[in-house]
Amino acid sequence: MTALICGSMAYDTVMVFEGRFREHILADRIHVLNVSFLAPSMRRNFGGCAGNIAYNLRLLGGSGLIMATVGHDFAPYGRWLDERGIAQTHVRVLPEEFTAQAFITTDLDDNQITAFHPGAMNHSHLNQVSAASGVRIGIVAPDGRQGMLDHAAQFAAAGIPFIFDPGQGLPMFNGEELRALVSRAAWVAVNDYEGSLLTERTGWSLQDIAARVRALVVTRGSQGSCIYADGHQHDIPVARAARLADPTGCGDAYRAGLLYGLQRGLDWPTTGRVASLAGAIKIESHGTQQHDFDPPAFAARFRENFGAAL
């Protein structure tokens, strides 16, 4: 029961400025802003929602195919996926473009200045769901705007149930578009903030949305998550994290857990706990694809946290 994972593939370049922006960005000079920050330490991580979800689903032992557009600079990321046995059949290289990338500069107060170049991601609509065979379930994660609209419509037309995961792409859509996307989806997954924005834009309450889909999932960071399904509200606890290194990518790890549970036909309380544990494991490492586990280790940790076998 392979999952088609439509979404972005991106490089995240993180540089640390060992000072404080506020000592260099002077309020009375902002009209002629021209600052340069020396950042001796730099990391370049493999990221993007589709890449992160596929990476976590692979660790869990689920089956996923990435559908994405990338640029001429994709080779190092491609090798990383190859080494982990993640297929690139539907990863389309656009030689004229860069792969989507974020340049993040942080300071010692944890402030961030980010520039994001979407590059090849803006052409994600060049890929079509119908090109992938053997797909039984899907997810529409943050990606190019037209790609998200098209892939949702294509999943619906093909009768393939999918998770609508608008994430940081949510502000690109108006109320009418969001109502159509939710109506096409089998499941909707959002964080707390995205949940509020989605209710505001659609004019539908969380209950209204839940009534239109098989399940609405709302994640609340360290407060856990809620799954509204079949008229029930399943409160999902967080799993214990050994350390809180970096929360970025917890949402994607959680979604991989949702796909895994759906592929295996697990009930919602169990699926939610798988997702929750995947999120907690992710938070223990920097980057979004630096953590590692195998299915037996995951099952052991699942039992430790929730007192039940997976």
Give the pairing type, strands 100-106 and 10-16: parallel
Q: Which is nearer to Mg ion, 14 or 94 (CB)?
A: 14
User: Which of 252, 267, 292, 294 is flagged as catalytic?
Assistant: 252
Q: Does 279 contact ligand ATP by CB under 6 A?
A: yes
- Which of Mg ion, ligand ATP, none is residue 114 near (CB under 5 to 8 Å by kind)? none
Q: Does 203 bind ligand ATP (CB under 6 A)?
A: no
According to the binding rule CB under 6 A, does residue 225 interact with ligand ATP?
A: yes
Amino acid at 50: A
CB of 276 to ligand ATP, least distance (A): 4
- Interface ranges with Mg ion (CB under 5 A): 167, 251
Specify the residue, 14 or 189, whose C-beta has the smaller distance to Mg ion. Answer: 189
Nearer to ligand ATP, 123 or 251 (CB): 251
Residue 78 near ligand ATP by CB under 6 A: no
Task: Closer to ligand ATP by CB, 8 or 225: give it.
Answer: 225
How many alpha carbons lie under 13 Å from residue 244 in its C-beta half-sphere? 6
Of 214, 220, 264, 301, the residue at the interface with ligand ATP (CB under 6 A) is 220
107 in active site: no
- When asked if residue 238 is in the footprint of ligand ATP (CB under 6 A), the reply is yes
- Shortest Cβ 297–Mg ion spacing (Å): 25
Residue 124 touching ligand ATP (CB under 6 A):
no
Quick one: 203 or 237, whose CB is closer to ligand ATP?
237
Q: Are 287 and 47 in contact (CB under 8 A)?
A: yes
Q: Shortest approach of ligand ATP to residue 283 CB, angstroms?
A: 5
Q: Which does 171 bind (CB under 5 to 8 A by kind): Mg ion, ligand ATP, none?
A: none
- List residues with catalytic annotation: 252
Binding positions for ligand ATP, rule: CB under 6 A: 191, 219-222, 224-225, 238-239, 241, 244, 247-252, 254, 276, 279-280, 283
